Amino acid sequence: MMNKFIAMLLSLSLISCSNPADKDKTIANEQAFVDSLLAFYQDTIPVNPLVVSTALEKARQTLKDNISSNKLLLYIAKCNYYSNQLEQAFLQNRQVLDFCEKETFSPRLPELQGDAYSSRGVFFSETGQRDSAIWCLHKAVEALSTISNPEIPIVYMNLADCYSQNGNYSECGYYYRKALWEAQSLGPDNIYMFPIFSGLAKLYLELDNFEEADYYFKEAEKVNGKATLYDQYYFAMARGNYYYNTKEYEQALIWFRKADIITSSFPYPIYKAIVEGNLGEIFILSEQADSAHYYLDRSKELFGQAYNQPSFRFYMNGLYASLALLEGNLKEAEKILSEPYDTAEINPQYLYYHNRRMQDLSMKKHDYKEAYLYRDKADAYNDSLRNVKIKNSLAEIDFRYRQDTTLLKKDILLAGVKSEAGRWRIVAVMSILILLLSLSVLAYIILYRRRRREKLYQKQMSVITGLRMENVRNRISPHYVFNVLNVILPAFKQYKELEQPIWQLIRVLRGNLLSSEKIAVPLEKEISLVKDYLQLRMMGTPEQIQINWDISSEVVSDLLIPAMCIQIPVENAVKHAFEPDEPNACLTIRIKKKDNTAVISIEDNGSGFNPRPGENNSKSTGNGIKILYQTIELLNTNNKNKMDFNIQDRRTLSPDSHGTLVSIIVPFEYNFNI
């Protein structure tokens, strides 16, 4: 191995000396040298980090290119991480990040910065600082997303592991699937598929979803040809834990022994200590006390100083107590189980097993009252753990289906783009055929999306609501523009001076289009739009209808209200409420504060509210009102304090009056998000 390294180093020196004036060529040669060197040592770093660190440092001293030099420094930091020299690893990693921040932009810089943040995230995760790890890994994704980088699945996998350690299984599943999607785009034969399938299997094992876990374990077994030793170790441990949880102890023993063999080549004994602790527990469950003694003692010895950590010690003491109970040594079991511990430092799962062991001990001592108390404690921990798993499982399922929906929408969008591109390529030859084809494709997409929404209705209500709202808002604009054009066109023929009507029309159309794209608008903008419309509408006959505004100063002008909620009733009143020659026609718009709401009323003294037979509610008064009613109905699904929308014939309020009263009550703290 060293002979090959020396040959590569000598080759670099010759290239650098052969043409010192050609800086660009030197940089390219150094970049190629560094890439080949790292590829050469890639698999050796975890197994023999000190040897690799020495070789990389020697190579770094020959480099002139700063980016290549810092790339080697980054991998030297990784070697120190594997050598358990975390302080030095953090320091060297920080040097690389400082260089990236100060260096003039280069197309190679995002890759170095992304790799540096990714490594730092792993370092933080190793020291238990998972929030800092997640932040660094997101920064890595941000940097690597600007370039084409085949190693981004690693960052997603590390993010998934951090979220899993934090107990956020929905985010964990999301990032494992992002890693899977990225890995699949690289082709079926790549090194990432095995750890991704292993991670998904471990995720579902944590959620007690053994069917899904077994599926991903089997998928991983199909692609384990390119797995590293560490990936094989983690897979064997996870597979062993799967059979441990399904109580198939013979199968668990096989996989833990495989993991034990793999750890024989690892430089640090803690991996073997964990495996042999698991082997000891399997032999306890199989009632093989001698083998259990052997592996537990070996595990304790291999843990070394780490054995004194509260979590490790509590875990191992629990196994020794189980072994003492198996052998009938109640005195030794009681001594071990009576050792003090801090529950804040212990995994709740271990506390559950501890109380079960105390229950077994009390039963064997015939202290049934004490046994009953410990059983209650164990059940409480078990219920708590089960509730957490159920909650996390539901969150993961919800996240998975929301992600599937997002992918479906992207697929539909891509299909639409491809269809449109094809149509424009041949539009000059067969325009009529293309039009028919486009309509067919559009109908197919609409039908497909509708059926898809019906199937996923219960599980994706939020997505369906968003789509319905979009359709509702899009219907308002053409309805309103049609009405405005019908009003303004006669004015063009009647008046010679058209400048003012034209600008009035532009403002009204622009205001309408902007409003139709929004769910909610500020009150002052809605009022401005209505006033522009009324001026435009009354241009020919300004005295026909008296317009009264009564706006309380207690209502703030930037209060959000549903878009066009005043415009539509005003438009309906002007169009339908009055006969052409009706005297004393009056339209009043009032806005006032009542408790914690804004009360908006549109009142006229016209013919009144007369829905068609069989349609005696506010949903049936016209297309615009229908849309407004549907908008408010959808918004109310996400609000505790509901918005109220009502249409009344004034004769039902007072026999002496006539006309229509439209009222909208908007709570001040209303959520307009779908």
Domain covering 490-610+621-667, topology: Heat Shock Protein 90 (3.30.565)
pLDDT tens-digit map of 338-391: 888 777 767 677 777 788 888 887 888 788 888 788 788 777 767 765 655 555
Tell whether the torsion through CA atoms of 35, 38, 40 and 43 is positive or negative: negative
Tell me the pLDDT of the chain averaged across its residues.
79
pLDDT at res. 395: 52
Position 417 confidence tier, pLDDT thresholds 50, 70, 90: low
Residue 6 has pLDDT above 50, yes or no: no
Give percent of the chain above pLDDT 70. 77
Parallel, antiparallel or unpaired: strands 546-551 and 586-594: parallel
Residue 400 has pLDDT above 60, yes or no: no
pLDDT tens-digit map of 147-181: 887 788 999 999 998 988 887 888 888 899 889 88
What residue ranges do the domains of the chain occupy?
A: 26-148, 490-610+621-667
Provide φ and ψ at 547, rounded to 5°: -105, 125
Distance CA 241, CA 198 (A): 12
Position 441 confidence tier, pLDDT thresholds 50, 70, 90: confident
- Does 26-148 match 490-610+621-667 in CATH topology? no
Distance CA 74, CA 229 (A): 22
More confident residue, 258 or 338: 258
DSSP per residue, 360-416: HHHHHTT-HHHHHHHHHHHHHHHHHHHHHHHHHHHHHHHHHHHHHHHHHHHHHHHHH
- The CB density around residue 191, as the number of other CB atoms within 10 Å, is 19
Q: Rounding to the nearest 10 degrees, give the CA dihedral for residues 586, 592, 597, 599.
A: -10
Parallel, antiparallel or unpaired: strands 597-604 and 660-667: antiparallel
Kindly state the DSSP code that residue 465 receives in the 8-state scheme.
H
Provide φ and ψ at 590, rounded to 5°: -115, 140
Shortest CA distance to 214 belongs to which of 195, 230, 238, 192? 238
Distance CA 563, CA 628 (A): 9
Matching CATH number, 26-148, of 1.10.760.10, 1.25.40.10, 3.30.420.310, 3.40.50.720: 1.25.40.10
pLDDT at res. 388: 55
pLDDT at res. 502: 65
Distance CA 536, CA 509 (A): 11
Q: Which amino acid is at 549?
A: W
Contacts of 674 (CB under 8 A, 6+ apart): 462, 465, 466, 469, 519, 634, 635, 638
Average pLDDT over residues 493-498: 59
Distance CA 560, CA 668 (A): 8
Parallel, antiparallel or unpaired: strands 660-667 and 560-562: unpaired
Distance CA 42, CA 453 (A): 47
Average pLDDT over residues 250-265: 92
pLDDT tens-digit map of 583-634: 888 999 999 999 899 999 999 988 887 765 444 444 444 667 877 888 888 8
The residues that bridge with 633 in the sheet, in sequence order, are none
pLDDT tens-digit map of 629-665: 888 888 888 888 999 999 998 888 888 888 999 999 9
Provide φ and ψ at 592, rounded to 5°: -140, 165
Rounded alpha-carbon distances, angstroms, from residue 300 to 6, 262, 276, 316, 674: 43, 19, 9, 8, 56
Shortest CA distance to 35 belongs to which of 79, 65, 1? 65
Distance CA 232, CA 222 (A): 13
413-437 b/e (C-beta count within 10 Å ≥ 16 → b) = eeeeeebeeebeeeeeeeeeebeee
pLDDT tens-digit map of 196-230: 999 999 988 888 888 999 999 999 988 877 778 88
pLDDT at res. 564: 87
The residues that bridge with 589 in the sheet, in sequence order, are 549, 602
Q: For the full predicted model, state whether its pTM sits above 0.85.
A: no
Rounded alpha-carbon distances, angstroms, from residue 663 to 427, 524, 532, 565, 628: 51, 18, 21, 10, 12
Residue 101 has pLDDT above 50, yes or no: yes
Parallel, antiparallel or unpaired: strands 586-594 and 560-562: unpaired
Provide φ and ψ at 637, rounded to 5°: -65, -20
Kindly state the DSSP code that residue 612 receives in the 8-state scheme.
P
Distance CA 489, CA 311 (A): 82
How many CA atoms lie less than 13 Å away from 132 in the CB half-sphere? 11
pLDDT at res. 460: 41
Position 82 confidence tier, pLDDT thresholds 50, 70, 90: confident
Lowest mean pLDDT among 347-351, 408-412, 431-435: 408-412
